[in-house]
Chain A
Amino acid sequence: MWIRLERRPEASHLMSYASPAIAIVLMLIGGLLLFAFLGKNPIEGFKVFFIYPLSDLYGVSELLLKATPLMLVAVGLAVGFRANVWNIGAEGQLIVGGIAASAVALYFQESEGAHVLILMVIAGCIGGMLWAAIPAFLKTRFNTNEILVSLMLVYVAQFLVSWLVHGPMMDPDGFNFPQSAMFEDSALLPLLTEDTRLNLAFVLALGALIVGYVFMFRSFAGFQMQVAGYAKNAARYAGFSARRMIWIGMLSGGAMAGLAGMAEVSGPMGQITEHVSNNYGFAAIIVAFVARLNPVGIFFASLLMALLYLGGEQAQQYMNLPSSISNVFQGMLLLFLLGSDVFINYRLRWKKEVAV
């Protein structure tokens, strides 16, 4: 008997949707085994990791809060990823968006009224787009690799924010600690419910998912980008501008990442520090792929990813597991997804041994 990987005549539609589900199930099984190997009760581990964080309304609100930046960034990235525009630098774009929004907040410190928040949203988006425009320009003008350029700009953005909070943006009354002054109320996103931290950014994220869905599946530009993703030459033959797609792909990712940065400084942080981003820009890449680059999927994948973070915190507090546990779960999820994705284009064949 032989087991053989055989190329499917055409990619399996069913498998492309089943694959994330299989990956999640395998991750859960892997998690149970992991708990057992670490000498913990797997059922207890499962409960602490996946049930406890959601045991009350506050927990649910925290889940949605944590998922908000992931949704924003992932939907922006998905637009580009569909056309094979690989923006890996959302982390940096998020930081620059946060910087731009903070600059507005600090400039209008004395000012009341809704214009502060509106300007912050615009500034956040523009900041992220500017940062994404650098790799887009270099790609369209000099054909540089956007993966490398966007990724390297993450480090530049980190140094930029570090310099700003140690210098021009530092709170003058903050004893030289590296952080800005706390924002005024007019620069803070309104809370959706009292006593939680869930704010208007969640609604913006839902809106972004809807807009993303309409763009991807109901617009001509979205169709063009999808064609380019599937078959570059066909798109060229049809006369679709590759440059335009690179610009759309990079800028949409940048705008959404910048908005996510704005939502962080104007939401749960209420100021800018060096820690604007918490790897949301990179985690959102996993989210986008688990979600099959589909906005509906991104909604659920963001929640799952957020739950892995919350669960990891709980596992530390109640089971004395190390902090890397969240990363292990994320890693398993991505690994199993890549593994299952093989079966979109291939299938297993049981073959009887035949004499050659």
Chain B
Amino acid sequence: MTLTKIINKLALVALLGAMTGTGMAADNVGFVYVSPIGDAGWTYQHDLGRLQLEKETGVTTSFVENVAEGPDAERVIREMAKRGDKVIFATSFGFMNYALKVSKTFRKTAFVHATGYKMGKNMGLVNARFYEGRYLTGVIAGEMTQSNVLGYVAAFPIPEVMQGINAFIQGARSVNPKAELRVIWVNSWFDPGKERQAALTLLSQEADVITHHTDSTAVVQAAEDQGKYAFGYHSDMAKYGPTAHLTATTHLWGDYYVKTVKEVQAGTWKPASLWGGYKEGMVALAPLNKAIPAGLQGRIRDMEKQMTAGTLHPFAGPVIDQAGKTIVPAGQNMTDDQLNSMNYYLQGVVSKVPN
């Protein structure tokens, strides 16, 4: 190859590069994940949303998984903003302060943070009312239990987790006033060994329907091994316990991602704090196990419709706490402020809140 040919070739490459680098490229959307995607769990559900977003809007996406909830997050988010990502979704609570900081430098980028409480001029918040699904699984548990003892493996006593526990027992006791719930805290979001141990302990204490608010599939697997029932969380975990898995409270982020990106592209996006649930299509139950009687399945489907319509509230009064104090009187629903500061158990939970 002569020198001129080489130069021509280089020029062509540079030209192509310049073309793809400018307006011709599709918008890119960045995702920051707190854990590896894996094949079930919190991050996996966000990634399903990302794939739906790519399919439905034609944007390109990129993600960084397993980002620690510390200073590294700021660098990852900043890199996405710097290279011109249109929208950046930061999907774990610990990214909040870092995303907010970067958002102040990159005002033209839209930032959305999942689960948190600080907003910015160009940073919105999103979270889902997972407790709506929990209530429905509680109803199923209350009907399916023989021993009237239910079990719950939980990570940390923050309001989001407390909402799940309390919605579960509210649901169970709405159909079975004898139902009681035992909770074991594992002090970790992801520790399959400890989660399994906790599940086995609950099962040995007569619990025959268990669920979890942690990120692995260990609890469902433990129930399958012991021939008991379980509900998955985050994802449909049926394949980890085909017999045990009655259903799961699943998270659906895809529609929200599509809507947000379309708004940003149209220039109509405004940062908001969205706490969506059944109504917004962000929470749903996984397919119901055949073990659930048809009549109960029908009732659950009806309740899902009521939940979507807003006529069924998991914390509709009377809501009574463990000590017998009325938190919400009959005829009222618990407010969002009350939900966000929930740090107590409701009647029916027989464990004690840690600390």
Contacts and interface: CB of A to CB of B under 8 A. Distances in A.
Contacts of A197: 71, 74
B355 A167 contact: yes
Interface residues of B, number: 32
Contacts of A178: 156, 158
Contact of A62 (B30, B75, B159, B187): B75
Contacts of B69: 273-275
B65 A316 contact: yes
Contacts of B341: 175-176
A207 interface: no
B79 A278 contact: no
Contacts of B66: 323-324
Contact of A313 (B36, B76, B97, B355): B76
Interface in A278-311: 278, 309-310
A159 B187 contact: yes
Nearest to B162: A176
B157 A313 contact: no
A254 B74 CA distance: 28
Contacts of A275: 68-70, 94
A323 B65 CA distance: 6
B74 A177 contact: no
Given A167-B355, A313-B64, A317-B80, 10 more contacts: A166-B355, A175-B340, A175-B341, A177-B116, A177-B158, A270-B97, A278-B68, A309-B72, A313-B72, A323-B64
21 contacts: A159-B187, A174-B117, A175-B159, A175-B341, A176-B158, A176-B159, A176-B343, A182-B97, A270-B97, A271-B97, A278-B70, A313-B67, A316-B63, A317-B30, A317-B62, A317-B64, A317-B79, A318-B62, A320-B62, A323-B65, A323-B67
Contacts of B76: 313, 317
B93 interface: yes
Interface in B313-355: 340-341, 343, 355
A194 to B, nearest CB: 12
A313 B65 contact: no
Interface string A165-195: 0110000001111110010000000000000
A309 B68 CA distance: 12
A55 to B, nearest CB: 11
B62 to A, nearest CB: 5
B117 A273 contact: no
A158 to B, nearest CB: 9
Contacts of B94: 179, 273, 275
Contact of B79 (A66, A269, A314): A314
Interface of B: 30, 36, 62-72, 74-76, 79-80, 93-94, 97, 116-117, 156-159, 187, 340-341, 343, 355
A303 B316 CA distance: 57
Interface size class of A (residues with CB under 8 A): 35 or more
Contacts of A159: 187
A43 B93 CA distance: 37
A28 B273 CA distance: 46
A278 B69 CA distance: 9
A323 B116 contact: no
A65 interface: yes
A162 B30 CA distance: 30
A268 B340 contact: no
A252 B184 CA distance: 40
Given A166-B355, A176-B159, A313-B64, A273 B79 contact: no
Contact of A166 (B64, B70, B79, B157): B157
A322 B64 contact: no
Nearest to A278: B68
Nearest to B64: A316
Nearest 4 Cβ contacts at the A-B interface? A268-B71, A323-B66, A275-B70, A316-B64
B319 to A, nearest CB: 19
A162 B187 contact: yes
A271 B64 CA distance: 24
A276 B74 CA distance: 14
Nearest to A318: B62
B335 to A, nearest CB: 14
Nearest to B117: A175
A264 interface: yes
Of A174, A278, A317, the most chain B CB neighbours within 10 A belong to A317
Nearest to B159: A176
Nearest to A309: B72
B354 to A, nearest CB: 8
Contacts of A313: 64, 67, 72, 75-76, 79
A128 B158 CA distance: 29
Contacts of A62: 75
Contact of B74 (A174, A268, A271, A278): A268
A178 B156 CA distance: 9
A267 to B, nearest CB: 8
Contact of B156 (A166, A273, A310, A314): A166
A278 B67 CA distance: 10
Contacts of B70: 264, 268-269, 273, 275-276, 278
A33 B116 CA distance: 42
A251 to B, nearest CB: 26
A278 B71 CA distance: 9
Contacts of B72: 66, 278, 309, 313
A62 B116 CA distance: 26
Of A176, A269, A274, the most chain B CB neighbours within 10 A belong to A176
A267 B340 CA distance: 30
Contact of A322 (B65, B68, B157): B65
